[in-house]
Amino acid sequence: MGSLTGFIDYPRMDKTERKISERLKDFNEFRIAISEKEQCRQAARCMNCGVPGCQWGQLLEGKAVGCPLNNLIAEFNDALYHGQEKLALQRLLKTNPFPEFTARVCPALCEKACTCGLNENPVAIKDNEYSIIEKAFELGMIQPAVISIRTGKKAAVIGSGPAGLAAADWLRQTG
């Protein structure tokens, strides 16, 4: 666990957004990242709960609760807090083959299930995930995966969303 009192010491800080008039002129990111120091503080807010609802990913009374990917949120937050970029990336990629876009389009069900959010603002989990993968690209830690196994079989995956792409990636890895 990062900081025992991080959720008390540091208020939640979200990324800011560029003005719409600026965003209309290009296709660049519209959310402005916070500093690395502040991102570490946001990771320190994670309480590493005994039973973290944020990574549960189950249906409760017909509603999705927590991360549907079962991301290891407390683990990557702890690694991010301690400046262990490689470990944070490994924990993130353990359950999520495409964090570079899930960190952008995810509805952040994990944040709605965050224990810290019961009394205060939840941990900025989506922003933490985004910062981990962007830092990994910046440091050259993301490399193409070359697959050596080829079975010669073909498969079709219907759907180009995160689930369809993850299924296609898993099939590719298995040959």
Cα 136 vs. chain centroid, distance in angstroms?
A: 13
> How many Cα atoms are found within 13 Å in the side-chain-facing hemisphere of 9?
14
pLDDT digits over 30-49, tens only?
A: 888 889 999 999 999 998 78
Dihedral angle computed from the Cα positions of residues 49, 112, 74 and 131, in that order, rounded to the nearest 10 degrees:
-160
pLDDT number for residue 119 = 86
Question: How do the domains of the chain map onto residue ranges?
Answer: 6-143, 145-175
pLDDT digits over 110-125, tens only?
A: 999 999 888 889 999 9
pTM for the predicted model, two decimal places: 0.85
Q: How confident is the model at residue 1 (pLDDT cuts 50, 70, 90)?
A: low
pLDDT digits over 131-158, tens only?
A: 999 999 999 999 888 888 888 888 899 9
pLDDT digits over 83-111, tens only?
A: 999 999 999 999 988 899 888 888 899 99
**What CATH code would you report for 6-143?**
1.10.1060.10
Provide the angle, in degrees to the nearest 10, between the axes of the packed helices 125-138 and 36-44.
Answer: 140
